[in-house]
Amino acid sequence: MAVISNEIPKHLNEETLSSERIFEGKVVKLRRDKVLLESGRTSYREVIEHNGGVCVLPLTDEGEIIFVRQFRYPFKQVLLELPAGKREGDEEPINCGIRELKEEVGATAEKITYLGHLYPTVAYDTEIIHMFLAEGLDFGEQKLDPDEFIDVVKIPFDEAVEMVVRGEIPDSKTQLAILKAKLLRNK
């Protein structure tokens, strides 16, 4: 039986020997690093650099979660997700969450609770997504970007949890934020 330890073993580290920028776009950058492995051999790692983002679970006083429905080009389908967006420069995650909540659903929140963060793709992407629960909502107008097209959808909290369990919400940040909020509400 394997012994699991919380200590980080030094032998698993990979030393970066060189780094080459391959692509620099509006949302992501791509680099190719040459690394030294613990065996003494070298290998290459392709890394997508992303500034990170947030998702916000807006919960109404009636116990409904506010979702956005939008077309996601890589999958060529419309997906149901929590309001989310990428951080601008060194923007603090909480400020990004407040901005995205206002932009996408036109809401401000009386109370915002940090639900933690996740690494959506650990093998080749530096993106970190911070998750928040927003309560005590006050609604105004959306402030969508000119190239942003979304529908706002309200779903009862427990129904949304069941949708996650049934696999009807494939987006990882949305799944995790809903399940974390469920555990938080059950305490």
Euclidean distance between CA atoms 171 and 57, whole angstroms: 13
Q: What is the pLDDT of residue 145?
A: 86
* Contact call for residues 85 and 76 (beta carbons, < 8 A): no
Report phi then psi at 105, rounded to 5. -120, 0
Note down pLDDT in tens along the chain; length 187 residues.
666 777 878 788 999 999 999 999 999 999 999 999 999 999 999 999 999 999 999 999 999 999 999 999 999 999 999 999 999 999 999 999 999 999 999 999 999 999 999 999 999 999 999 999 999 999 999 999 889 899 999 999 999 999 999 999 999 999 999 999 999 999 8
Q: What is the pLDDT of residue 60?
A: 98
Q: Any bridge partners for residue 24, and if so which?
A: 29
Give start and end residues of each alpha helix (H) in 5-92.
Answer: none
* Contact call for residues 80 and 174 (beta carbons, < 8 A): yes
